[in-house]
Structure 1
Amino acid sequence: MKLFKGRRRAKKIDQELGKGLWRQAHDRYVRGLDRYHQILEGVEDDAVHNELVAIGDQLAEQLPRVYELCRCGERDFPATEMHIPAGAHGLHAGLSRAANHLATTAEAEAMVRLSNGQLDSVRHRAQQVLDCLSEAESTLS
């Protein structure tokens, strides 16, 4: 049953996000979340772990938002390749920067895990992710 459910989900994503630019933008965000949670597994200090979980939860809660932005991108600016369609630059740039900031959030988290970084750095980078998503949303208004 899980196999068929996974196939249906993949088909729906392909249908709503396409297989080009907007699917890639969504998948980059998902990979960043996966990386963040992989690093989280190695944090031994309970207080630090709990704080990083809260930040990770906030970033994971943005996934439906990212999906919707990518869905709107595919609807308004269909892209079968990786070329950014005219008028879609702001939306794509916001999504791309959000994924980049998510990757740097995971890097900052790794530094905290190794006791060479600060939680404030992780918080700051996570806020940058949220800010970029807000910028992307503002291009659709």
Structure 2
Amino acid sequence: MKLFKGRRRANKIDQELGKGLWRQAHDRFVRGLDRYHQILDGVEDDAVHNELVVIGDQLADQLPRVYELCRRGQQDFPATEMQVPPGAHALHGGLSRAANHLATTAEAEAMVRLSNGELASVHHRARQVLDCLNEAESTFS
């Protein structure tokens, strides 16, 4: 039963985001979240772990927002390939930078895990993710 539910979900995503640019933007964000949570599993200090969980939850809460931005991108600027359609550069740029900052958030988290970084750096990177999503969202205002 789960197999069919997963397949239906994948078909819905393909239908709403396409298989090109907007699907890639969404999937890059998802991979960044996955990486963040993989690193989180290895944090041994409970206080640090709890702080990183809060940041991770805040980032994970953005996934529906990213999905909606990508869905609207596909609706307003259909893309079947990887080229950014005219008029979509600000939206795509914001989403792309958000995914990049999410990756650097995971890197900062890894440094904290290895006791070579500070939580403030993880917080800073996570704020950059949110700022980029705000920027992407403002393209629809």
What amino acid is the match of 1:69? L
What amino acid is the match of 2:130? L
Write the distance in 2 (CA, Å) between the matches of 1:83 and 1:132: 20
Write the distance in 1 (CA, Å) between the matches of 2:108 and 2:10: 31
Write the distance in 2 (CA, Å) between the matches of 1:89 and 1:103: 21
Report sequence identity in percent. 87
Write the distance in 1 (CA, Å) between the matches of 2:26 and 2:133: 12
What amino acid is the match of 2:25? A
Equivalence for 1:67: 67
Write the distance in 1 (CA, Å) between the matches of 2:83 and 2:67: 19
Equivalence for 1:118: 118
Q: Does 1:87 align with 2:87?
A: yes
Equivalence for 2:32: 32
Deviations 1:44-64 (Å, cap 9, x if unpaired)? 000000000000000000000
What runs of 5+ residues in structure 2 fail to find an aligned partner? Answer: none
Q: State the TM-score, normalized to the length of structure 2.
A: 1.00
Q: State the TM-score, normalized to the length of structure 1.
A: 1.00
Equivalence for 2:127: 127
Write the distance in 2 (CA, Å) between the matches of 1:83 and 1:41: 36
Write the distance in 1 (CA, Å) between the matches of 2:112 and 2:83: 37
What runs of 5+ residues in structure 1 fail to find an aligned partner? Answer: none
Q: CA RMSD in A?
A: 0.2
Shift of 1:30: 0.1
Write the distance in 1 (CA, Å) between the matches of 2:33 and 2:7: 22
